[in-house]
Structure 1
């Protein structure tokens, strides 16, 4: 059977591409504008031999770029791809739709969805997979443009795709359904060209596929994966601390063979058993912060966000801060490293622990700084941000299998 081919737009560090590759798809190219995130994708999915995700075309430089630049410089090449691409996947940057901050329909990043649709119209793939935050499905109450008020942007996108010949299905889906140890509700849109046959909604197919998918991964389909099941092998208590392998002046645990949960075994597959993965660097908290964290661990309900009044008494201006519960899934991983507190240790999570909670395998390495700040935020995409913005690979893989099954009806 001919291998299905995909393009990944707004690819980030490669979570969606990794999942599709694990589902048997072949990537053609990926578009990501930030140099750090693209370097992570390139390092893991192109340069290394763990997986071979992309068959990169000669006409496109293998480097960071934007959808705008792709359209401006390579429209002819995109049109020549018509009939050769099975899937365009992509999650346009969603800051204007997120409930984590002020929702702004006029955020220029929202216009990237329009560029997504323009590329779809040029390439005319059989299928589309679009991932975004659940706020993508909510109406805007305020807008500088009166005509935008009350609109549900997901419906606007649906109408535009239908106008160029696609049937569209969408639903809010929790990542925890795929074994990912966090709920992470996400808006998922799957579309297919009108002439393609389909007997049922792809989300019905997903419901039928999931029990066997989780069973094949060794994951219990009757319960969610907990935080402790995901990262207990990375605790500092009882571990040997060594100098960080990727940052001077910091420490990390010595990655060692220990008794592993099923999920941890899955995350350690294909990793080098003799060496440590990257991104295990432990934060250096000052005494004031350590005292605050210890107070939260001893005096606040784990798994629940600390109330604003309590945060003020603790002397922090954080808007959201949650001590994790070891026996429950994590709260949704964000781009901020200090939104979550370890369930038993007075510290924030490492990048690797966040990556585990996003279902990135341990062999997957992250490039760039750990954090950044100030004006550099506009240009840099550090590791915590890369992980927080990513599509969980376990979730992406399942959707890759769903879309592949749709294709079986049209061969």
Structure 2
């Protein structure tokens, strides 16, 4: 049965936002994603199109269309590994003036998509007639400003404007933009007297006003919505002006809406002098400071508070032995089985849980991870001292002696005379010798804390290791996906990881997961938007 509402997903990634929106009651009209690697995962899980299988058969995709490519339609093998930043001169395209975009994934640059739409007004008219309820996505925004100079050769600085222009072209009822917490930190442009401070979140808000939308901004944290992860995220929801007016009439004297309306009017009045509008003229609402106003009316409804947060243990304890081939809905974890029920499996995937392969570590790495597991239990400043010791910083003899005493209370990982790994409580001399043999310069590495939500997901797998002493290893893709609230049936495709210069354009499985919008967070936002639109009975 089709859902009542429709959405378009830009910067779709591997599909976290779309999965949550589908569960909230939105039908995907079409999606756009730059990376063919992330697109392969999206197509497989959201559209039920297996691009790898089609590639092996030398067949063409029907639901995944390339906006531009250097390779023909039946060469999926090369298309799936193509550098998306090299396609500007690509002579192949799957788009034509009579193409149907419905239920499609469009792979490629959003600006190339905008160029196509501007050259095909008939398709734009059709999109407007669809009266799309929502356009959502997460473009990079960290150094975006409407005024002043922009870094040359940095296309990312233009992407928020591309998002806003797309919204202005299609005119959905509402827009949802997701971004990292860093969007709220100030940045500067120019030199000398031309030096100017900007706030990207404010600049993005202005951009949507200029396209006819009234923004409401908020800082969320996924842990308040049942995600086992301490993941702050900036969210902008902007209403088409006529939709906003109806909502304002329904929510009389709502301070959040009144503040947004004042900002909208201020931007319109100063559209030729936008630099006159500063961070003092608008506000974003922080869930950490005022959780009580997140009540499901204008801001999404909180489902978990403080002692009720989902923990690391809740998320991955049931699959910690990665040598076992776990089956869907057969594990003992209440949280993962909840995810599998909330996000129903609409595609015919195998019953075995995928993406749970452990990476191979040598002894030095495993022994170092065991140290990280141990020092997570240290108190009274000893954890910082141990970290400094690992990363080559000078520490006092007094602190070193205290660390040796503390380490001697825990089992560490050694090599015995037979070259086998063993855990044992060590003497001071053994501890000092071991520390010298496993140094690191990485400051970001740490072990998970079992009874807390996980730290914000990272795209580099080596930065986190398991909490269990029998598992001195990095997390699997599946474990990271659990922290992001993906159900176990959701299978991540393409390469597992990458490195070197290929990091500039490849989006392997770990990066796909780390960059994703948590589906449970998307679900909460989708439920809010659906409730708002249905309460307005918006038909125009």
Check whether TM > 0.5. yes
**Equivalent position of 2:455 in the other structure:** 331
Query: 1:12 maps to which residue?
Result: 13
Summarize the Cα distance change of 1:19–1:379 in structure 2 as closer, same or farther, 3 Å threshold: same
Judged with a 3 Å threshold, the aligned counterparts in structure 2 of structure 1 residues 407 and 38 are, in CA distance, closer, same or farther, namely: same
CA distance in 1, matches of 2:165, 2:480: 34
CA displacement at 1:308 relative to structure 2: 5.5
390 and 273 in structure 1: CA distance in 2 versus 1, 3 angstrom threshold: closer
Stretch deviating more after TM superposition (38-47 or 219-228)? 219-228
Question: Contact (CA 8 Å) 1:91, 1:130: kept in 2 or not?
Answer: yes
Aligned to 2:536: 410
- State the 1:167 CA deviation: 1.2
Measure how far apart 1:80 and its partner are: 3.3
- SS of the equivalent of 1:16 reads helix
1:246-283 superposed Cα distances (whole Å, 9 cap, x missing partner)? xxxxxxx3215766242122134356998322110101
Deviates more, 1:267-276 or 1:7-16: 267-276
Give the 3 Å change call, closer, same or farther, for CA 260–273 of structure 1 in structure 2: farther
| TM-score, normalisation: structure 2 | 0.65
What is the RMSD computed on CA atoms of the aligned residues?
3.2
Change (3 A) 1:82 1:348: same
Shift of residue 317, structure 1, vs aligned partner = 2.2
Aligned length: 383
Alignment of 1:26-175 (within 5 A): 26-47=27-48, 58-60=99-101, 62-75=105-118, 76=121, 77-83=123-129, 84-94=131-141, 106=151, 107-141=154-188, 149-175=196-222
Q: How far apart are the structure 2 equivalents of 1:148 and 1:127? A: 35
Deviation track 1:322-344 (CA, whole Å, cap 9, x = no partner) reads 21110000000011101111111
TM-fit CA distance, 1:24: 0.6
Gaps of 5+ in 2: 51-62, 66-97, 258-284, 286-291, 393-437
1:264 aligns with 336
Q: Which residue of 2 aligns with 1:245?
A: none
After TM superposition, the structure 1 stretch with the greater mean CA deviation from structure 2, 307-316 or 191-200, is 307-316
Structure 1: runs of 5+ lacking an equivalent: 98-103, 242-252
Which deviates further from its counterpart, 79-88 or 4-13? Answer: 79-88
Maintained 8 Å contact 1:174/1:185: yes
Helix, strand or coil at the partner of 1:338: helix
Aligned equivalent of 1:285, options 343, 353, 361: 361
Structure 2 distance, partners of 1:157, 1:188, is: 11
DSSP-derived class of the 2:227 partner: coil
| Contact 2:3/2:25, CA 8 A, preserved across alignment | no
Of the structure 1 ranges 290-299 and 165-174, higher mean CA displacement relative to structure 2 is found in 290-299
> Which of 464, 478, 487 is the aligned partner of 1:340?
464
Q: How far did residue 139 of structure 1 move?
A: 1.3
Equivalent position SS for 2:112: helix
Q: Does 1:255 align with 2:339?
A: no
